[in-house]
Amino acid sequence: MSLTPNEIRDRAANDLGLLRLGQSLQAQDDSRISQAYNETYAELKEEGLATWASTASVPDQYAPHVISLVAYNCLDTYAVSLERYNRVLLKAGANGELAKQNIRKLFNTNFETLKDDPVDF
């Protein structure tokens, strides 16, 4: 089961300590984190790493990394505890590079041909 952009938003808000289970986001937080998702998607799309449409669900294997990138994008907006800051930074890496690297690993699966004698172009 993949996660919708709204579910990604809520999980990032949870990582930032803005949302607890059973609650809903305030309008300004919803808007800011949704914008962070859009910015993250655009960056991944530009790098050729987004294999889904911006409004479509994020495939399961990418979701944890996209969540960490969205949360990382919001760190300068929200005052989070040092523990939360470090947790988000640990998942995303400096400038989000660790999460992007993990997406690249998932994206670049090895292709195996079904032919007995493959042609090397």
Q: What string of pLDDT tens digits covers the 121 residues of the chain?
A: 699 999 999 999 999 999 887 788 999 999 999 999 999 999 999 999 998 999 999 999 999 999 999 999 999 999 999 999 999 999 999 889 999 999 998 876 555 555 566 566 5
Look at residue 120 in the predicted model and tell me its pLDDT: 62
* 82, two tokens: 């040092």
Look up the pTM and report it.
0.85
Residue 69, C-beta contacts closer than 8 angstroms, at least 6 positions apart: 40, 43, 44, 92, 96, 99, 100
- Name the residue ranges covered by the structural domains of the chain: 5-106
